Structure 1
Amino acid sequence: MNQAKSRNNSGKTQPMVQPDTHNLQLIPWEVNEGAVFERQIRLVVLFALAVFVVYIFQLWYLQVAKGPYYRNRSENNRIRTETIQSPRGIVFDRHGVPLVENRPAFHLMLVREDVKDTETLHSVLQTVSALSGKSLEELEMVLEANKSKRRFEPIRLIADIDRDTLAKVEARRLRLPGVYVEVVPRRGYKFSGTAAHLVGYLGEISEEELKKAAYQGYQPGEFIGKGGVEKSLEAFLRGESGWRQVEVDALGRHIRSLQERLPIPGRDLWLTIDLDVQRTAEECLKGKMGSIVAVDPNSGEILAMASSPTFDQERFVRGMTSEEWKRIIADPSHPLLNRAVSSAYPPGSIYKPFVAVAALEEGVVSPTSVISCPGYYLYAGRRYRCWKDTGHGSVDVHRAIVESCDVYFYTVGMKLGVDTIATYAKMFGLGELSGIELPSERPGIIPTRDWKLKATGIPWQKGETLSISIGQGFNQVTPLQAAMAYAALVNGGTLWTPKLVHRLEAADDGEQDVVKAKVRRRLPVRKETLEIVKGGLVGVVNEARGTAHGIALKEVALGGKTGTAQVVKMGENVNRKAHQRALPEHQKDHAWFVGYGPAQKPEIVVAVIVEHGGHGSSGAAPLAQKVMRKYLEKTHPELRGREDAGVSTVEDDGD
């Protein structure tokens, strides 16, 4: 054995003992730990390898096996939410005849996001122009007007394309990326032009209207009511739009619907007008400017409301150019103006019955009081002439109404004064808004002393009362006011609010809201006074000297009052007939007539105004008779087939 030597602390050398390595053994736990570690490494490697294989397989499956499918879906398919317009409510006449319906309209739409670049967009517009006949400039103007829209928002390129254009577009859809056809309900005016002012028309909502609270929730491009009941009852007729979530391809074609909420249709509207009476009124006004209003005096229901000239409602639905719109606006005949409610005229002699009511009620005259008419009324050294130059002689209130004596009403008017006359005229609803469900109604004017001072700064002159007494001067009333006032006169003193809507009906469940007639006021006028005045009105038509004797019917007694409203003031010593003949058409007198029938139990009141129509007896009364007869034929068969009325037989008639 080898021995090593070592030194201790004392410096002496001592032998070092070496360990015996032959007898050493490994401890068991060290061997087990190594095996476990090796197994763990192998498992990790195997797991990683499996994940890698799965990953590689999935990549191969997605990119190779299913690559074209998913690439096509990712590039071409999109989810869009589309608005589903609600169909507007249908408008019927009182007998259920539809005046306004809905039809399908096909709009050509463009989504710019689906068009790759500017060059492709230009090519699409060129193709659309060739297919539709629209110029490229028009289409580019549409894009320019909608440039503020986001690229994924649809733009209406062309509204309401025809069937031929639709077929051409559908056949070339593959060459029109971003273009698709939208189908929406569109207004259809079955008798376009008939009751146009009353029903109204639709037009695209403007930017100014979109800012108004009344149109909150509306979208650019929507059509809204622009006149008549289409406008005033927009909230009921419009309904509530729905929506649809759809999947579309790159060409804008629908692949499938995902979900949707159906729209709620607008409420159907039943009007009080009678289509037959309405058409008769419009036929009477053909070629004339004016208005005819027919009402039921027992309920205030509007039976007809015609204004002439009229207009084609379909032109607005189809769309018109700015030049066409400018021509309509510049038309001196104002075809869009509803003369029944938006035009006020001097009432002329149709005003006299209300002056008669005031005179009788105030005790200025009695039914038997007589006033002499020499053909003029002398005031402040000036002669105010009667329409009959030779005068009427001794006249009581009955004869004054029948023959429309100006001098009689000059006399009682001066005794009453302007303010008292105004009190009674306004009592009958003249000079104030009627409350009808139509836009743009004018109140007219019934003057008083205070009114003139505020309006002009000049005090009332007593001589002005003379003109007021015969319906001239500052007086202005609408045809609707005249009809409602006479209805109150002949029905016993009840002034109704005009009723145009009979009921509203829900299209989905048939729920109905019937609109009740509304009384504006009960007139504080004695029945005896009303009967006296009504007797005069019956005499106007049925007595030989009545100013409307020419329209009398043998089968049914009518009543009414003629009126001639001066447009140009006549000189003091000028012959009335010669003056009228010398005037150009636009300066001739307006012709008025307000009539009713049957005389004893009125069922209809008709007010007629013909602008520059001359005498009321010849220019307006025959028209009113036709309208009344058309309505009364339904309850009085004996009137059917009777010949049209002639004209007044009163010689030298000035009314």
Structure 2
Amino acid sequence: MENTPQAEVVRAGNEEKLAPGKLHAAQYIVALVLVVLLGGLWRLQVIGASNYRLLAEANRIRKVPVLAPRGKLFDRDGRILVDNYPSVTCYILREQIRDASKDSPELALIARGLNLTVDQVQSILRHYQLAPKYEPIPLKKDITPDEQAFIAAHRDELPELETQDEQRRLYPSDGFAAHLIGYVGEVSEQMLDDERYAAYSAGDVVGRSGVEQTYDAVLRGTDGYRNIIVNSHGKEVGQLGQQLAVPGQDLKLTIDLDIQMAAEKALQGRNGAIVAMDPHTGEILALASRPTYDPNAFAVRLTKAYWSQIINDPEHPLLNKAIQAQLAPGSTFKIIMSVAGLEENVAQDMRVNCAGGATFYGHFYACDARHGGVDIHNAIPLSCDTFYYTLANRLGIDTIAKYATALGISQKTGIDLPNEASGTMPSTAWKLKTQHAPWYVGETISVGIGQGAVTVTPIQLARALGGIASGGAMQRPHVVFPDEVPSELRQAIAENFPGSGEKAFPLSVPNWQLITDAMAQTTITGTAAAVHMANIDFAGKTGTAQLVSQNFGAKGMGSGANRANAWFVGMVPRRNPDIVVAVLVEHGGFGGAASAPLAAQVINTFVTKKRKQDNNLVVAEVPKPKPAETPAPGEAVAAPQPAAIKQSSPAAE
């Protein structure tokens, strides 16, 4: 029975069956594989669905930015200062580049067609290496018609190149008002690390100086975008939608174009600065600085050659001397000395006999002339150093510092332009803090005539003397009308530019009237008599600040880089003036000959325009500047400090 064929089949069938343990193991493996597969499907189709959907869309849809045009800048009368012009930018699609190596024929062709080098192309690609690969990279801005034709002719060969119409900044030529307006440029990597630029991305255009920087948030607008459909080669085949760009807001500046042009013309061929301000409101009517630069060179892509040229220029063309030059004020400081002397009841009855100088603490301090008997009434027109040496000695450095500081010296004014300097007003506490040394009484003598360690900026000097002529009321200087700025940004901008701002330092009426009368006499019979203008109530004060001590050279103005700086501050009318003008001519020599005529030109432009607007046809004649190298009658030459107490100030004697 056991050997029958049927039994053999049954036995064989039982031997082919798996053992129960192996069967269970196989089932567990199959189940585990199914779980892994189901988990992967769940991750792909449920958990990561939105992410993979975006990636898929990115392969089909590209977001192309539409840059917002920056707001235009106008002068106070609505005349345009800064405009925009249509431009074309070439973008490169990094994801479409087949070979980005240095020997790539592809990059060589691109570089040749766009007048670049392969190294420049690779440098741009490296600069944007952290940006998403699907975002277009600006390869070259403001491309020429020939370069546009090259891109169009090689569309099939170079699918990674695209063009886009944009708006670019157009600034006045010849550096006109460049330090006031500023310039724009691409946001730098260092700026991107600053939290103030958290909303910016690589390649964004941002204000880098002047009004462009201060009011960037107002001017830049909001960029839009277009969602375009692209094919497998990355070329546009359709459009899904768009968000329109919101143009930046236009701004009206306080600048008067006519007065600005007069200031620019007056400074032509000279190094220095001119500031014209309405002391009633703090509105800047003109602000010019020389040497200047071309902001149009920054508006597209700054070349290394031009950047190297301007940063290595010993004249520092990027320096806004109107708010950043910190120099000894020379005899213009005597107006502040007069305020201190009168308010302290020291100067009223003080009378000195000027015999060409005076001796203090064993050192002889020279005056430019033998003025004879001098009191406060003729000390300003004559600019008598001997009188102010004596006054400084009687007041002491801390009393002088108290009044100078109250009038804004050694403090930023708070003007709405970046990088304003504060200047220096020495005192016993200042020297102890900065030099860890006591103040010597002999050091006070030179401070009395605006030398020594005291330094000011032109904007400080204009504000201080305008405030004195207004009875002590001083306004915060500004170059944009406050109502032009949205209220939510107005406070933030004010906080970003701290300074003494608006303040009042009430002066005794007889005192500031005496001072302004004496300043008016300066332009009639005093050191600025050469620029007297009939039919204009023109008041002012000259200043000549030496750069080297007379102990080390001949008495006079010096020569070359050691030639004295020339200052002048003038105003119209003499009391509660409508305009105050501060002029600095570096190495200009005597203030009466070098700076006063420039201020007269600016003031004449202001008065003539105002009279025409008021239908008043009386026009003043401005005397032409004289090339004489000798001082105007009575012009004081700043005397040196004793060598033992010589200060390290850049404007010190």
The two structures share one fold, judged by TM-score above 0.5: yes
DSSP 3-state at the match of 1:326: helix
Aligned partner (choices 156, 166, 169) of residue 138 of structure 2: 156
Q: Distance in 1 between matches of 2:311 and 2:457?
A: 22
Within-5 A mapping of 1:169-180:
169-180=151-162
Question: Which amino acid in the other structure matches residue 410 of structure 1?
Answer: Y
Counterpart for residue 281 of structure 1:
263
Quote how far apart the aligned CAs of 1:569 are.
Answer: 1.1
Residue 606 of structure 1 pairs with residue 581 of structure 2: yes
Change beyond 3 A, Cα 1:117–1:326: closer
Does the CA contact (< 8 Å) of 1:124 and 1:177 recur in 2? no
Quote how far apart the aligned CAs of 1:265 are.
Answer: 2.1
Does the CA contact (< 8 Å) of 1:341 and 1:479 recur in 2? yes
Aligned partner (choices 408, 417, 432) of residue 453 of structure 1: 432
Residue 293 of structure 1 pairs with residue 275 of structure 2: yes
Counterpart for residue 415 of structure 1:
394
Q: Mean Cα displacement is larger for which, 88-97 or 604-613?
A: 88-97
Counterpart for residue 464 of structure 1:
443
Q: Distance in 1 between matches of 2:120 and 2:327?
A: 44
Counterpart for residue 474 of structure 1:
453
Does the CA contact (< 8 Å) of 1:271 and 1:503 recur in 2? no
Change beyond 3 A, Cα 1:116–1:650: closer
Q: Mean Cα displacement is larger for which, 302-311 or 248-257?
A: 248-257
Aligned partner (choices 112, 137, 145) of residue 130 of structure 1: 112
Aligned partner (choices 346, 350, 358) of residue 364 of structure 1: 346
Change beyond 3 A, Cα 1:600–1:526: closer
Aligned partner (choices 367, 371, 376) of residue 386 of structure 1: 367
- TM-score, with normalisation over the residues of structure 1? 0.82
Within-5 A mapping of 1:197-596:
197-250=179-232, 252-366=234-348, 369-388=350-369, 391-503=370-482, 505=484, 520-543=502-525, 546-571=526-551, 575-577=554-556, 580=557, 583-596=558-571
DSSP 3-state at the match of 2:542: strand
Q: Distance in 2 between matches of 1:570 and 1:117?
A: 69
Q: Distance in 2 between matches of 1:568 and 1:639?
A: 44
Change beyond 3 A, Cα 1:249–1:331: same
Quote how far apart the aligned CAs of 1:425 are.
Answer: 0.9
Q: Rg bigger for which structure?
A: 1
Q: Distance in 1 between matches of 2:625 and 2:570?
A: 16
Change beyond 3 A, Cα 1:575–1:76: closer
Does the CA contact (< 8 Å) of 1:293 and 1:302 recur in 2? yes
Question: Which amino acid in the other structure matches residue 595 of structure 2?
Answer: A
Change beyond 3 A, Cα 1:117–1:571: closer
Quote how far apart the aligned CAs of 1:504 are.
Answer: 5.7
Q: Distance in 2 between matches of 1:76 and 1:209?
A: 29
DSSP 3-state at the match of 1:394: strand
Quote how far apart the aligned CAs of 1:127 are.
Answer: 2.7
- Alignment identity in percent? 38
Structure 1 portions without partners, runs of 5+: 1-73
Question: Which amino acid in the other structure matches residue 517 of structure 2?
Answer: G
For each residue in 1:549-586, what CA deviation from the matched residue of structure 2 results, as whole angstroms up to 9, or x when unmatched? Answer: 000011212110000011111118x6523xx3xx4411
DSSP 3-state at the match of 2:175: coil
Q: Distance in 2 between matches of 1:622 and 1:569?
A: 27
Does the CA contact (< 8 Å) of 1:432 and 1:443 recur in 2? yes
Does the CA contact (< 8 Å) of 1:178 and 1:250 recur in 2? no
- TM-score, with normalisation over the residues of structure 2? 0.82
Does the CA contact (< 8 Å) of 2:533 and 2:620 recur in 1? no
Change beyond 3 A, Cα 1:434–1:643: closer
Question: Following TM superposition, where does structure 1 have runs of at least 4 consecutive aligned residues deviating by more than 4 angstroms?
Answer: 74-77, 116-121, 503-507, 511-516, 637-641
DSSP 3-state at the match of 1:524: coil
Quote how far apart the aligned CAs of 1:608 are.
Answer: 0.4
Structure 2 portions without partners, runs of 5+: 1-55, 495-499, 638-653
Counterpart for residue 629 of structure 1:
604
Counterpart for residue 168 of structure 2:
186
For each residue in 1:14-61, what CA deviation from the matched residue of structure 2 results, as whole angstroms up to 9, or x when unmatched? Answer: xxxxxxxxxxxxxxxxxxxxxxxxxxxxxxxxxxxxxxxxxxxxxxxx
Q: Distance in 2 between matches of 1:617 and 1:304?
A: 21
Q: Distance in 2 between matches of 1:152 and 1:393?
A: 83
Question: Which amino acid in the other structure matches residue 554 of structure 1?
Answer: A
Q: Distance in 1 between matches of 2:88 and 2:634?
A: 61
Q: Distance in 2 between matches of 1:125 and 1:460?
A: 67
DSSP 3-state at the match of 2:334: helix
Aligned partner (choices 58, 67, 84) of residue 102 of structure 1: 84
Counterpart for residue 5 of structure 1:
none
Q: Distance in 2 between matches of 1:641 and 1:462?
A: 46
DSSP 3-state at the match of 1:491: coil
For each residue in 1:206-250, what CA deviation from the matched residue of structure 2 results, as whole angstroms up to 9, or x when unmatched? Answer: 111112111112110111111101111112112222222111235
Q: Distance in 2 between matches of 1:653 and 1:364?
A: 24
Q: Distance in 2 between matches of 1:331 and 1:380?
A: 43
Quote how far apart the aligned CAs of 1:650 are.
Answer: 3.1
Question: Which amino acid in the other structure matches residue 380 of structure 1?
Answer: Y
CA RMSD of aligned residues (A): 2.7
Quote how far apart the aligned CAs of 1:500 are.
Answer: 1.3
Q: Distance in 2 between matches of 1:77 and 1:215?
A: 30
Q: Distance in 1 between matches of 2:106 and 2:450?
A: 65
Q: Distance in 1 between matches of 2:321 and 2:226?
A: 44
Counterpart for residue 619 of structure 1:
594
Q: Distance in 2 between matches of 1:335 and 1:110?
A: 35
Change beyond 3 A, Cα 1:641–1:533: closer
Does the CA contact (< 8 Å) of 1:80 and 1:247 recur in 2? yes
Q: Distance in 1 between matches of 2:531 and 2:237?
A: 69
Question: Which amino acid in the other structure matches residue 188 of structure 2?
Answer: S
Change beyond 3 A, Cα 1:618–1:175: same
Does the CA contact (< 8 Å) of 1:632 and 1:639 recur in 2? no
Aligned partner (choices 625, 628, 631) of residue 646 of structure 1: 625
Between the two proteins, the alignment pairs up a number of residues equal to 569
Change beyond 3 A, Cα 1:492–1:652: closer
Q: Distance in 2 between matches of 1:519 and 1:513?
A: 14
DSSP 3-state at the match of 1:244: strand
Question: Which amino acid in the other structure matches residue 471 of structure 1?
Answer: G
Does the CA contact (< 8 Å) of 1:193 and 1:313 recur in 2? yes
Counterpart for residue 45 of structure 1:
none
Q: Distance in 1 between matches of 2:485 and 2:237?
A: 33
